Amino acid sequence: MAQSQRGAETRARILEAAALCFTRAGYDSSGVAAICDGAGVSKGAFYHHFPSKQAVFLALFDRWIDGLQHAIDATRIPGETVPQRLEAMAGVAQQVLQATEGQIPLFLEFWHRATKDPEVWQTLIEPYRRFRATFAGMVREGIAEGSVRPVDPDLAAHVLVSLGVGLVLQSALDPGDDIDHQAADQAIRLFLIGLTDGREQ
């Protein structure tokens, strides 16, 4: 632990600087030199801690996913109905995105590169499908307990994730500070009405 405290700090600084560069300029336009500069570190140090520029990018992605997963797990409060949990999730997702302060462009960067590079795709698609499966499971659960209309769970999950992705993407393009915060809640609420169709929750 204290073994390589200095090394760990340098590594963290590189990650931080890389996140900033990728967020501001994008992956392709961010040179390794610029990242090193931002981290106050030489190129040698960079390649000592990471085998490639892409490795830093993927490490950043893993860190991001871990945070998201952790936040989602926190909403697993038993004893509530599925619609209630979905509604709670809207607040959490929004809170996560706000906590990662301005890292939304980074999310777009992940998405973009995943469609170009197979390795990035592999890394992104796994948690992505896991999330979708989680939502589908919740919908299925809701149908079983009668709080949700009998819709295709996979389709509903697909729509739900689309909603989330779309909201994030829009705030990346055109950050409307006040709108964005309301939008997630409103979107989920509208969607929930469609799902429950006036049932008792």
Partner DNA sequence: CACTACATACCGACCGGTCGGTTTTTAAGC
Partner DNA sequence: GCTTAAAAACCGACCGGTCGGTATGTAGTG
Query: For DNA, which is the closer residue by CB, 52 or 98?
Result: 52
Figure out which of the listed residues 15, 19, 49, 191 binds DNA, where binding follows CB under 7 A.
49
Region binding DNA by CB under 7 A among candidate stretches 52-60, 129-137, 169-177, 189-197: 52-60
- Give the one entry of DNA, a copy of itself, none that residue 7 binds, where binding means its C-beta sits below a cut-off of 5 to 8 angstroms depending on kind: DNA
Please tell me what DSSP assigns to residue 3: G
- Give the one entry of a copy of itself, DNA, none that residue 88 binds, where binding means its C-beta sits below a cut-off of 5 to 8 angstroms depending on kind: none
Query: For a copy of itself, which is the closer residue by CB, 91 or 105?
Result: 105
C-alpha distances (whole Å) from 174 to each of 1, 110, 134, 161, 190 are 43, 18, 29, 20, 22
Amino acid at residue number 102: G
Regarding 32 and contact with a copy of itself (CB under 8 A), the answer is no
Regarding 6 and contact with DNA (CB under 7 A), the answer is yes
Q: Structure tokens of 180?
A: 């964005």
Regarding 189 and contact with a copy of itself (CB under 8 A), the answer is yes
Taking a C-beta distance cutoff of 8 angstroms, is the pair 99, 112 a contact?
no
* Interacting positions 115-174 with a copy of itself (CB under 8 A): 115-116, 121, 124-125, 128-129, 151-152, 154-156, 158-159, 161-167, 169-170, 172-174
Query: For DNA, which is the closer residue by CB, 56 or 167?
Result: 56
Residue 18's nearest CA partner among 40, 3, 2 is 40
